[in-house]
Amino acid sequence: MTATDTARPPRFTRRDHRTLGLAALGGALEIYDFIIFVFFALTLSQLFFPPEMPQWLRLLQSFGIFVTGYLARPLGGILMAHFADHLGRKRVFSLSILMMALPCLLIGVMPTYADIGYAAPLLLLALRILQGAAVGGEVPSAWTFVAEHAPPGRRGYALGFLQAGLTFGYLLGALTATLLAHVFSPEEILSYAWRYPFLLGGVFGVIGVWLRRWLSETPVFVALRSQQAPVKFPLRQVLGEHKRALAPAALLTCVLTSAVVVLVVITPTVMQQRFGMSAGDTFALSSVGIVFLNLGCVLAGLLVDRVGAWRALLLYSVLLPLGVGVLYASLIGHWGMTWVAYALAGLSCGVVGVVPSVMVGLFPAQIRVSGISFTYNVAYALWASITPLALIALMPWSPWVCVGFCLVMGGVGVMTAVYFGRREPLATGEPGLELSRTA
């Protein structure tokens, strides 16, 4: 670490907080656009598929279209990461939110199966693919952008706060769904009110693009470009010279994905189908869980700065199945106070706030976005496309399926922390860029 690094205050300045806040808020608006689909999966399954189709099959196909957005992440993420490593993090940051907002707006105005038949689900599928490509570029760019702006020793908090911002997008979706469930009847939602949250997503996208006009390029990227030309093919260098980082990055992406899928995607649907809860109660409870997930991400980031990313990963990998276990025990045993159990589950999913700190330390700044984007998006696409469908299909077999799944994924997190934590120590500064950090 150089004099330039040590001269920087070990705490956030007002400018740092402004940058972090704008990045997190823009990310929240983009994630809202992506996730609002799942809160209306039951409604969309009735609107975009033949009415004579069995309900379980319509729901399965609706979730199939949802997870297709995950499958589109690698291509969009890899292409956008290439330009982020060449042209800068900020430009890709703004492009991704625009690519997310326009399809969301179009979903809000598009015809249904009753209007155009099978063209409706096909059009919906195409729009979800565009959204998947957009979110594939958003997350790696956001992690890199925030990490490269963070003061030394505060990267964990910065990334934890960013993850809280991203998961706040889930909360916006849950609150919107809750509000609609209270204001409109189920018939009104099915008739026309389902369009409102998607139209709102288009407005959020415009706000997000405007907010990101005020962000500045990261000091690490500016310093890097002042010293050397960009790597011509960043992904080729990732695959050729940084193979050892790919395995832990992919495994931890699966752990992060599992926590989000179980807490945000699967459990609200299961509470309606398996446990007979109303849509309003389900959305309200999931909102509680997401609020505490936000808090858990920030607390996890603070822990990273205190004990290190690998040790924090070890702890939160153990907490993940414990928290989800309490939630499902409450649902199955009818303990009451389900909101408390959901809150504990949200806090226990703090691994979502830990994983980014590990990921940004595995790749040097010259190829960081490409390295994160390739491993994160490929692993996320495969895992998130399979997991929801498998859990939904297995749920009739046992209501403990999600708990067992989180137990396995917590074990993966523990083994990754123990094995790779010794072999792949994380950089405290900027790998290969220690002389170029500026304030």
What are the CB-based long-range contacts (under 8 Å, 24+) for 14-21? 16/149, 16/150, 16/151, 16/158, 18/214, 19/146, 19/149, 19/215, 19/216, 20/146, 20/149, 20/150, 20/158, 20/161, 20/162
Mean pLDDT within 388-411: 88
The tokens of 20 are what? Answer: 């972090």
Confidence of residue 358 (pLDDT cuts 50, 70, 90): very high
| Rounded Cα distance, 328 and 318, in Å | 17
Mean pLDDT within 168-174: 82
Choose the weakest-confidence range: 5-9, 38-42, 157-161, 391-395: 5-9
| Rounded Cα distance, 57 and 360, in Å | 40
DSSP string for 187-207:
HHIIIIITHHHHHHHHHHHHH
pLDDT tens column, 414-432? 999 998 876 655 544 443 3
- Which of the pair, 214 or 23, is modelled with greater confidence? 23
Residue type, 434: E
Question: Which DSSP symbol is given to 305?
Answer: H
Query: Are 191 and 120 spatial neighbours (Cβ–Cβ below 8 Å)?
Result: no
User: Kind and range of the H or E element at 413?
Assistant: helix 401-423
Query: Are 65 and 388 spatial neighbours (Cβ–Cβ below 8 Å)?
Result: no
pLDDT tens column, 197-212? 889 888 877 777 777 6
Question: Which DSSP symbol is given to 266?
Answer: I
Q: Does residue 264 register a pLDDT over 80?
A: yes
Q: In the chain, what are the domains?
A: 14-423 (1.20.1250.20)
Residue 146: CB partners within 8 Å, gap ≥ 6?
19, 20, 23, 24, 158, 159, 161, 162
The tokens of 176 are what? Answer: 């919107």
| Rounded Cα distance, 19 and 146, in Å | 8
The tokens of 133 are what? Answer: 């490509």
Max distance between CA atoms of the chain, in angstroms, equals 70
Q: Does residue 254 register a pLDDT over 90?
A: yes
pTM: 0.79
**pLDDT recorded at residue 294:** 92
Query: Are 68 and 84 spatial neighbours (Cβ–Cβ below 8 Å)?
Result: no
